[in-house]
Amino acid sequence: MTGSPPAGDFMSGVRRACTGDPGTPLVLLGNIEVERDWARGEPGVPAVGDDAPSAVVARMDEFALLLGGADDHVVLKSAPDPGYLDYLRGLGLDLPHVQVTDRCRPAVPVTAEALDSPALLARLRPLGAAGVRLLPHGISAAEEELCRRAGLAPALPPAALAKRVNSKVYSRRVTAELGVPLAEGWECESVAEFEAVVEKAAARIADGAVVGVKDAYGVSGKGIVVADRARRLEQLVRMVRRRAERTGDDRLAVVVEVWADKSADLNYHLTVGRDGSVRFDFVKEALTAGGVHKGHRFPARLTPGQLAAVEDTARLLGRRLAADGYHGPVGVDALVRADGSLLPVLEINARNNMSTYQTRLQERCVPAGAVVVARQYDVRLPAPVPFGRLAAALGPLLFDRAAGRGALPDSHATVNAAFTGPAAPPAAPADGRFHFLLVAPGQAAADALDAEVAARLTEFGDVR
């Protein structure tokens, strides 16, 4: 099955790759928006605002709960719903010890909360002295500072290296150097380079192409301007020119790519070891809307030749990342063209990916031959939803391990993100997000389950 982790325990392999020992205990940290830290100081697309992460995104920290075992710890902005923890234990998961930050403020990322938590830091220091390592979603200067204050050794390479290999400029250049098929496009590191590239891109638009301008450190649809008219590119040129004149800084960190006709988006996962070893983990179909990640479908519907090409590319990339000093989890975005050919690398994400957090549930819960759709449902909620109420609303649709099918919640904190913390509850309905792995015996059954779950969630608010 191309969507399943390889034989053996996924996280043991990650521990071995990152620390040299498959039994190393970890402090897990779901700093999902680490790209924001990498992007700081890197001039990108000026039309994209630098707004703070939403309360919902900040509570995606709870995904890290699913990676840990009984000897591990996880840092969270608030304690998980007790009913949700009982449900996960009932599935046979041994869960990590929860270390809660001193405060839980909406839209404040978990690393920032941890750094502002003297009591938490005091609890982490003995763990560091005992050899426990910090494994974050990705590592930036903020996580290095957390390691310093908490006395924890990082399980990932230095932040400066992690930032370099996560740039979309790096992705394109490494892909080209390795001789791997690459989307038509250009890398820009100055305003002058961008001005020259825009002329080429405008010519492609005149031929009927659509062009995307992407921040080197944009994520999940952020930092992308899509242009189907040359006038939009000309506007961007004027904006970057004005910014350079105002700041005296003509640096720019973007890539410009011609959009390919596609039949499917892909995300594949590999793990790079300190010793240079490369483990191909899995490939999944990525579900996106407007460039924004919405979930996964696995197993991926690939031909044997397409799968072999993905695996070969993963090993090439892994060896190159190892040569550049990186070790740890890696996700790669790719696509299948309309003619069935592959673009095996759109960008390299040398960090955890959303698919990383699904692995333990896959290993423990998903039966062989099942189809799984990882799905999110955004709902406007007038009030918080305890996990017990969600379970009651889903009834027989809730995943049952014995039956091997149903809606398996892989997070709950994002549901009540707006209602958690010291602030008064919102006066108006607030955004919440339900995350599930929809496990079914086939695609038609998965589609039916999706529709039924969406209908049941209307009990709580407006499903969007």
Q: How high is the pLDDT of residue 462?
A: 94
Q: What is the mean pLDDT of residues 215-243?
A: 89
Q: How high is the pLDDT of residue 54?
A: 87
Residue 48 reports pLDDT greater than 60: no
Sorting pLDDT into bands at 50, 70 and 90, what band is 45?
confident
Q: What is the mean pLDDT of residues 340-349?
A: 96
Q: What is the mean pLDDT of residues 223-232?
A: 92
Instruction: State both tokens at 84.
Output: 């949700």
Q: How high is the pLDDT of residue 420?
A: 81
Give residues with Cβ within 8 angstroms of 240, minimum separation 6. 43, 46, 191, 194, 252
Q: What is the mean pLDDT of residues 336-361?
A: 96
Residue 251 reports pLDDT greater than 90: yes
Q: What is the mean pLDDT of residues 431-453?
A: 97
Sorting pLDDT into bands at 50, 70 and 90, what band is 53?
low
Mean of pLDDT over the chain: 93
Compute the distance between CA of residue 305 and CA of residue 99 in angstroms, rounded to an integer.
Answer: 45
Compute the distance between CA of residue 238 and CA of residue 231 in angstroms, rounded to an integer.
Answer: 11
Residue 268 reports pLDDT greater than 60: yes
Sorting pLDDT into bands at 50, 70 and 90, what band is 218?
confident
pLDDT digits (tens, 9 = 90+) for 115-146: 999 999 999 999 999 999 999 999 999 999 99
Q: How high is the pLDDT of residue 222?
A: 72
SS3 string of the chain? CCCCCCCCCHHHHHHHHHHCCCCCCEEEECCCCHHHHHHCCCCCCCCCCCCCCCHHHHHHHHHHHHHCCCCCEEEECCCCCHHHHHHHHHCCCCCCEEEECCCCCCCCCHHHHHHCCHHHHHHHHHHHHCCCEEEECCCCHHHHHHHHHHCCEECCCCHHHHHHHCCHHHHHHHHHHCCCCCCCEEEEEEHHHHHHHHHHHHHHHHCCCCEEEEECCCCCCCCEEEECCHHHHHHHHHHHHHHHHHHCCCEEEEEEEECCCEEEEEEEEEEECCCCCEEEEEEEEEEEECCEEEEEEECCCCCHHHHHHHHHHHHHHHHHHHHCCCCEEEEEEEEEECCCCEEEEEEEECCCCHHHHHHHHHHHHCCCCCEEEEEEEEEEECCCCCHHHHHHHHHHHECECCCCEEEEEEECCCCCHHHCCCCCCCCCCEEEEEEEEEEECCHHHHHHHHHHHHHHHCCCCEEC
Q: How high is the pLDDT of residue 169?
A: 97
Burial of 396 (0-12, 13-18, 19+ CB in 10 A): exposed
∠ at Cα 257 (241, 323), nearest 5°?
Answer: 100
Sorting pLDDT into bands at 50, 70 and 90, what band is 295?
confident
On whether the CB atoms of residues 168 and 328 are closer than 8 A, the answer is: no
Q: How high is the pLDDT of residue 52?
A: 57
Q: How high is the pLDDT of residue 294?
A: 80
Q: How high is the pLDDT of residue 219?
A: 74
Q: How high is the pLDDT of residue 426?
A: 66
Q: What is the mean pLDDT of residues 370-377?
A: 96
Q: How high is the pLDDT of residue 289?
A: 74
On whether the CB atoms of residues 283 and 2 are closer than 8 A, the answer is: yes
Highest mean pLDDT among 42-46, 214-218, 321-325: 321-325
Sorting pLDDT into bands at 50, 70 and 90, what band is 1?
very low
Q: How high is the pLDDT of residue 291?
A: 64
Q: How high is the pLDDT of residue 401?
A: 93
Q: How high is the pLDDT of residue 131?
A: 96
pLDDT digits (tens, 9 = 90+) for 277-289: 999 999 999 987 7
Compute the distance between CA of residue 15 and CA of residue 23 in angstroms, rounded to an integer.
Answer: 7
**Residue 285, strand partner residues:** 266, 297
Residue 297 reports pLDDT greater than 80: yes
Least confident of 48-52, 53-57, 255-259, 416-420: 48-52
